[in-house]
Every structure is written in structure tokens, then in C-alpha cells.
Amino acid sequence: MRSCPTNALLVEAGIPPLHLRRIYLAKKFIIKKLSFSRHPLIPLLGQLNIKIQNSPYWRRKTIPPLIIAYRFFFEIPIHRSPSLLYFTFPLSAGFISNAVNFDCGLEKGDVNSPVLSNLIFQNFLSLNYPNKDYIYTDASKTGTQTVGAAFYHSNAQISCKFKLNTKFSIFSAECIAVLEAIKYVLQSHIADAIIISDSKSLLSTLSNPISNPNNSYIISLIKYELYKITNENYSVSFIWCPSHIGVRGNETVDLLAKEGALNGENSMYQPPYSDLYSECRSQILEEWQIEWDYSSKIKGSAIAALQPVPILRPWFDGLQLDRHTIVTIGRLRTGHNCLPRHLNKIKIKNNAHCACGHDCCDENHVLLECPLLSHQRAILYRNFKSQNVALPINMSYLLSLNNINILKYIAHFFKSSSFKCHTNFSLLSNNP
């Protein structure tokens, strides 16, 4: 309804306030431009930043979002190059496709004992890849504090572990582990190597014979190293192995990656610009949380009780509800609906009385008390019982469950009640 406060509508829709979105988009834009060391915009922003710092005019003005983003990210280390690395390598390097096997006979979450899981995987290797060199890779990230990567050559009992910049994502750290393993294969002249990783997303990217120029620069480096391996007539294949189920080589390299995050060899690689997008996301959520905590004390308290922490998606995301249910539940969540209590509050009705004679017709009265709806309520309560809803109940409790069936039952209850009570409950689902 038009009476619903803007701050509550934004939280319901999962859309941050406009001024925060501007800064968020500016940060993403600046991060990408900073990754190009010769981009013409960067020196211009540097000059503008100096003028803003020294000009009395800007002391009374809001700092532009691009300058806010520039100040925040200019000193943060990210990978920078004159152009995309994809275009600096031979064209055929972008079309390298190595064999990737995703079916090792194990799945993530298998309940086998560690001994059995390891036995199954070792039998798989001996049957399908006999007399090969097996190199396990892994990465570790502990919150925002430490990031490490490692590889482990099980045949030779050789390992190497690396300490990475804390801005690296776990995906990029896994890429570094594989990249270093491939370099090791070249340096050690290993003719036929099997690289075993627990990163399915990385191996899926490598299995694509056509590279995307917008992929991380580390993927381009991996493709180029594989291209060099092909030219040396060496062979590298990849196997996906689920993590933390007892495969000995995977468990060993997992420990090495954790150690690398603490005391490994410092890596020369810098995080790709895309790894800093998560920082932009966390910043906008933190700033939005501060604003929501303050503004919800003035307006939107009903939503704040259900949604104390804003998220970047609407409350009904993934619930597969029809429009009628979304609108009805949305108005019940905000408390801004066409029931007499709210209509009286916004001066549309002279009182908040229900047709049954009760002096306050709100959501809880309709749901729990109104004698004119006893038949519909009996059906509703039977449906609630089928969902194991604990009694006693109220509207806030039911909405907080976010159970798709309960939400459908509530919406149907209000729809079926429209002709059984003089209060026009059907207005709940009308357009604003």
C-alpha cells in the first residue's frame, strides 16, 4: 500500500537505498578499471581527488561516489596489467582442453568410513590411471584473516605451500594451487601427471575448451601453462575428488593449505579484481544494516521484527509463490493492509471495529478470534497441524517461519473469508 514506509519496502524487496547502491556500483566500476594499469580514467580521478581535498567548494558538498570508491580501493593490492592476459597469449592457448573426470566413485557427503573412502579412491586411480604421477591441490581461507594454497606430489612425497593475500577468494586460491602444480610438472619434467582437486567449479571452468576473456587472469595463466605442457608433449589430466571424506592425499594437502595460510611461502600473485566484489557487497550490507537499525525504530518496526538483517534478495525469493500470496503476505508482514485497524490509523475509516463487534479488527483478531470465521479457522488450524505448528500462535510467529505451505494457507484463509465477514478482506490482495 502507499502508506507503507519506503525503508520497509526496500528491505522487503532486498534492494538497498539508492545512495548506497550508487556507491556500491561506483566501487565495482572502479575496481575493474584499476585492474588496467593504463586505463585513462585512473589518473583523471587522482587529479580530481586532489582538487576535492584542497578546494573549499567541496567542503560543503557531498563527495562523488566515484571518488569515495577511488579513495577506498586505490591502495588495495589487486592484479593490474595493461590489457587482459587472455589477449597476450597465443590464440590456441585459449582453446586448450584437458581431460577432466568428475566421476571417481565418491560423492561429497558420503557416509563411508575414511578408510573405505580412501580405498575406493585409490582403487579408482589404480584401475583408470595406473603408473601416473598424482598431484593433489587445495586451498584454505579462514574468514578474512588468512588464505593459503598448496600442492602435494604423493609419488615423490614433495609438497609446496603458499601464503596468499587475504583478499583472495577461495576459488582464486584453488586456481593458484593448480597453477603452481602445473608449473611444478613442467619444471620437474613429469611426462604424465594427474592433478586431483576438490574444486568442482574450477575443474568445470578448465573443462570448457573455449576460454572466456572475462575469466580471472589466473585461469588464463593456467591455460597458458597447459598450452606449454602440450608443446612439450607432456600430459596433464584432472580428477575431481570430494573433500573431507578421508581420501589420504586430499586430507594431506588440506592440512598443507592451512599451514600455508599461516607460514607458507609468500606468493607474488595479487587477487583478481573480481575477488573484491564480495568486499563491496559486505560493505553495502553493513551500511544498510546501520541505516535499517536506526530508521526501523521510527518506521517499519513490523518488518524489523521479521527481518532484522537486510539481505540482497526479496523475502519470497525461491519460495515459488503466486502473486496473490506474495501480495497478501507482504501486506500482512508490513501491517499496511485494508483491515479496519490500519484503515482507521490512516484516517480512511472512522473506527477499527470488526463486523463481529470487536473493537480492534487487526490480523491477529481475524486469524485467532473473529467468531464469523470459525469454520475457515478450523480448516486453517488443521492445515497448521499438518505442518507441526506449535500452539499458541500469532501472525508474527507464523510469518517468521517462512514456510511456503503455511504462507499459502494464510493467504487462502484471508481470500476465502472475504464473503463471510463484512470486513473486506479481499482488499488485502488488491493493487495499491
Q: Residue 140: give its domain's CATH number.
A: 3.30.420.10
The residues, any chain, with a CB within 8 Å of residue 113's CB and separated by 6 or more, are: 246
| Assigned domain for 354 exists | yes
Q: Give 63's strand partners.
A: none
| 3-state secondary structure (DSSP) of residue 306 | helix
pLDDT digits (tens, 9 = 90+) for 90-144: 888 878 878 899 999 999 888 789 999 999 999 999 999 999 999 999 999 987 7
| Assigned domain for 313 exists | no
Distance between CA atoms of 336 and 29, rounded to whole angstroms? 38
- What one-letter code names the amino acid at 418? S
Residues 241 and 382 in one domain: no
Residues 262 and 223 in one domain: yes
Check residue 211 and give its pLDDT: 75
Residues 160 and 256 in one domain: yes
| Assigned domain for 60 exists | yes
Check residue 237 and give its pLDDT: 96
Residues 53 and 166 in one domain: no
Instruction: Find how far residue 299's CA is from the centre of its chain.
Output: 29
Residues 100 and 118 in one domain: yes
Check residue 109 and give its pLDDT: 81
| Assigned domain for 312 exists | no
User: Which residue numbers in the chain have pLDDT < 50?
Assistant: 419-423, 426-427, 429-432
Q: Which domain holds residue 423?
A: 323-429
**Cα dihedral 373/375/377/378 (nearest 10):** 160
| Assigned domain for 335 exists | yes
Total of domains in the chain: 3
Residues 145 and 265 in one domain: yes
Check residue 108 and give its pLDDT: 86
DSSP 63: P
| Assigned domain for 54 exists | yes
Residues 165 and 242 in one domain: yes
357 backbone φψ class: left, alpha, beta (φ>0; ψ -120 to 50): left
Residues 17 and 130 in one domain: no
Residues 108 and 216 in one domain: yes
pLDDT digits (tens, 9 = 90+) for 369-415: 999 999 999 999 999 999 999 877 899 999 999 999 999 999 999 88
Distance between CA atoms of 236 and 50, rounded to whole angstroms? 51
Residues 50 and 142 in one domain: no
| Assigned domain for 333 exists | yes
Residues 89 and 211 in one domain: yes
Tell me the whole-structure pTM to 2 decimals: 0.85
Task: Give one DSSP letter per residue of 352-389, joined into a string.
Answer: ---TTS-S---HHIIIII-GGGHHHHHHHHHHHHHTTP
**Cβ-based burial of 112 (10 A; exposed 0-12, middle 13-18, buried ≥19):** middle
Residues 256 and 285 in one domain: no
Number of Cβ within a 10 Å radius of residue 386: 11
| Assigned domain for 314 exists | no
| Residue whose C-alpha cell reads 574444486 in the numeric block | 199
Check residue 60 and give its pLDDT: 86
